[in-house]
Amino acid sequence: MRLPSRLVAVVSAAVLTSGGAVLATAPTAAAASIPSACQYQWNTPHNARTTAGVNFRTGPSTGYTSLGILTKGTTFTHYCLAYPKGTNWAWGKVTSGANKGKTGWVAYSYLNL
């Protein structure tokens, strides 16, 4: 049974004020927004650098729109992989460079962990 978030907040506050403990089970913000195209999700995000200039895309294939180019050495934190048509694609967030803070897809072969 799924409880309304307000009810959970009220019950949690009551437990805490009575000296109890509450365990948070909500997913992290990054995990909550992982796309459905992901077929494998890491337990912890992986940090990588691009090995060459590579398109940063809206989806896991060259058929999706490019959001821009990530230059060689751009840092990228990826949370999951997709394998459409036998090609590996990583979804994550750009952590340096012109597209810093944006999320999208990068061909996995252009990432160096």
Strand partners, 89: 82, 107
* For residues 12-37, average pLDDT: 52
Q: What is the pTM of this model?
A: 0.71
Confidence of residue 33 (pLDDT cuts 50, 70, 90): confident
Contact yes or no for 6/13 (Cβ under 8 A)? no
Q: Convert the pLDDT of each residue in 51-107 to its tens digit.
A: 999 999 999 999 999 999 999 999 999 999 999 988 999 999 999 999 999 999 999
- pLDDT score recorded for residue 13: 41
What is the C-alpha separation between 4 and 55, in angstroms, rounded? 41
Q: Is residue 65 part of a domain?
A: yes
Q: Is residue 16 part of a domain?
A: no
Question: How many independent structural domains does the chain possess?
Answer: 1
The domain that holds 49 is classified in CATH as 2.30.30
More confident residue, 86 or 12: 86
Q: Is residue 9 part of a domain?
A: no
For residue 109, give Cα distances in angstroms to 23, 24, 41, 102: 39, 36, 17, 20
More confident residue, 26 or 58: 58
Q: Is residue 46 part of a domain?
A: yes
Q: Is residue 4 part of a domain?
A: no
